[in-house]
Amino acid sequence: MSPNDKQPNAPRKLIVLGSTGSIGTNTLDVVGHLKGTSHALEVVGLAAGRNVDLLIKQAREFDVKHVAIADAGLASQLKEALPGVTVFAGEQSALELVQAVEAQELVAAVVGSAGLPATMCAARRGMTIGLANKETLVAAGSIVTPAIREHNAKLIPVDSEHSAIFQCLDGQQGQAIKRIVLTASGGPFREATKEQIQNATVAEALNHPTWDMGPKITIDSASMMNKALEIIEAHWLFDLPSDKIDVIIHPQSVVHSFVEFADNSILAQLGPPDMRTPIQYALTYPQRLEGCSRYMDWTELSGLTFQPPDHDRFGALKLAYEVIDAGGTAGAIFNAANEAAVDAFLKEKIRFGQITDLVAQALSAIPARPVDCLETALEADRQARDYVNNTVKKTVLM
Ligand SMILES: NC(=O)c1ccc[n+]([C@@H]2O[C@H](COP(=O)([O-])OP(=O)(O)OC[C@H]3O[C@@H](n4cnc5c(N)ncnc54)[C@H](OP(=O)(O)O)[C@@H]3O)[C@@H](O)[C@H]2O)c1
């Protein structure tokens, strides 16, 4: 029996990677909400990075028998607190968990390309993957998407923009689609000058106007790198060329994205900014069940506004289109350079404006080559991180 075959009436078995993060905790909220419904889920595995206390709490609450922690030094604490539970520990622990545990469903919510090997394994195991971890597709879309097809797995987007496009497309492909338009809140620096953006502090960059998310994606939203990653994610998810993927600034974050079709009709998906909606949709697809997310009170909404993005102040978007057109390892270089630069910014080693500059430099300095296997993508990822980390070491902040 393949992991995707369901036994009648048995709850589907779910693994949550990145369970202690923003998407992970929202996923477990949705799982709690779905208890007792036709889409009840049994959580059989949880993976996290370092937050051992929350992982222990989650494992107890959901009676989970397999847990993974990336920080190997925390394994003994887990084992002591969770007798009878199998503990995987170390950088490969999420991958080992997915290899060892039988499950039909997986939510990929690790932050960064650290989530790639485990998600790739889930694809090879034919699982249904709710994908929040966009960095996986950006870094290795050219091997992840064929693996999904080859192993009869399913990839359901959790990112709100891609969930919106997925719902609007409803299976339409090719010439039927004129273009897709990803909405962007514009982040905290939507109205800021180039100079203010260049020198923004960590606190300013972490102050997102509409979404409550983990620190890395919040910084990505401020630099528009998040939208750049989403452009590349959309390219792989919906098999669209770069000239059919557009971005529009929509500060209210109510229209989550839209599709323009060949006949000039436009379909959009709307809702309050609450990730539990796309998470639940990914877990119950194609059915819709009573939601646990916020309800949209239309009387409180004063207006929906849209404006084109400013490519001069936010150079990340242009890079995304170049990455799609370059292909090969360009995605892995782009993503890893950004991860390393964001890390350096959060540690106050570089200015905010240098994030995009460092990513552009890494793309110019490291030649892209075809991605034939996972190791090629991971090698490009390491190269780009080394490039950025070495450049940061030479940076002197005035
Ligand atoms: N937050 C959102 O609203 C949102 C929306 C759309 C898409 N996404 C995407 O979803 C992903 C997660 O975002 P987030 O905001 O939930 O991030 P987050 O709050 O920072 O959570 C990241 C999760 O990954 C875990 N983790 C980190 N390194 C790991 C490793 N090496 N192995 C296993 N687990 C590891 C963390 O564990 P510890 O906390 O225990 O260290 C945490 O559980 C990102 O790819 C992001 O772009 C997020």
CATH 3.40.50.720 placement within the chain:
12-158
**Cα 18 to ligand 1 centre (Å):** 5
Left if phi > 0, otherwise alpha if psi is -120 to 50, otherwise beta: which for 29? alpha
* pLDDT-based confidence at residue 210 (cuts at 50, 70, 90): confident
Chain segment 325-341, per-residue pLDDT in tens: 999 999 999 999 999 99
Q: Give the closest residue to 229 by CA, choosing from 147, 111, 310.
A: 111
Read off the pLDDT of each residue in 203-208 and give the average, rounded to a whole number: 94
* pLDDT-based confidence at residue 5 (cuts at 50, 70, 90): very low
Distant-in-sequence, close-in-space partners of 332: CB < 8 Å, separation ≥ 6: 113, 138, 139, 140, 371, 377, 378, 380, 381, 384
Does the model's pTM come out above 0.85?
Answer: yes
> How buried is 83 (Cβ within 10 angstroms: 0-12 exposed, 13-18 middle, 19+ buried)?
exposed
Atom of ligand 1 nearest to the CA of 110: 24
Ligand 1 pocket mutation pick from 15, 92, 111 by most atoms within 8 angstroms of CB: 111
Read off the pLDDT of each residue in 202-222 and give the average, rounded to a whole number: 93
> Across the strands, what pairs with 348?
none
Chain segment 262-313, per-residue pLDDT in tens: 999 999 999 999 999 999 999 999 999 999 998 888 887 789 999 999 999 9
**Cα 111 to ligand 1 centre (Å):** 4
**Cα 256 to ligand 1 centre (Å):** 21
Read off the pLDDT of each residue in 376-382 and give the average, rounded to a whole number: 98
Q: Residues lining ligand 1, CB < 6 A? A: 18-24, 47-51, 70, 94, 109-111, 114, 132-135, 159, 211, 213-217, 275
CATH, range 12-158: 3.40.50.720
* Single-letter amino acid, residue 6: K
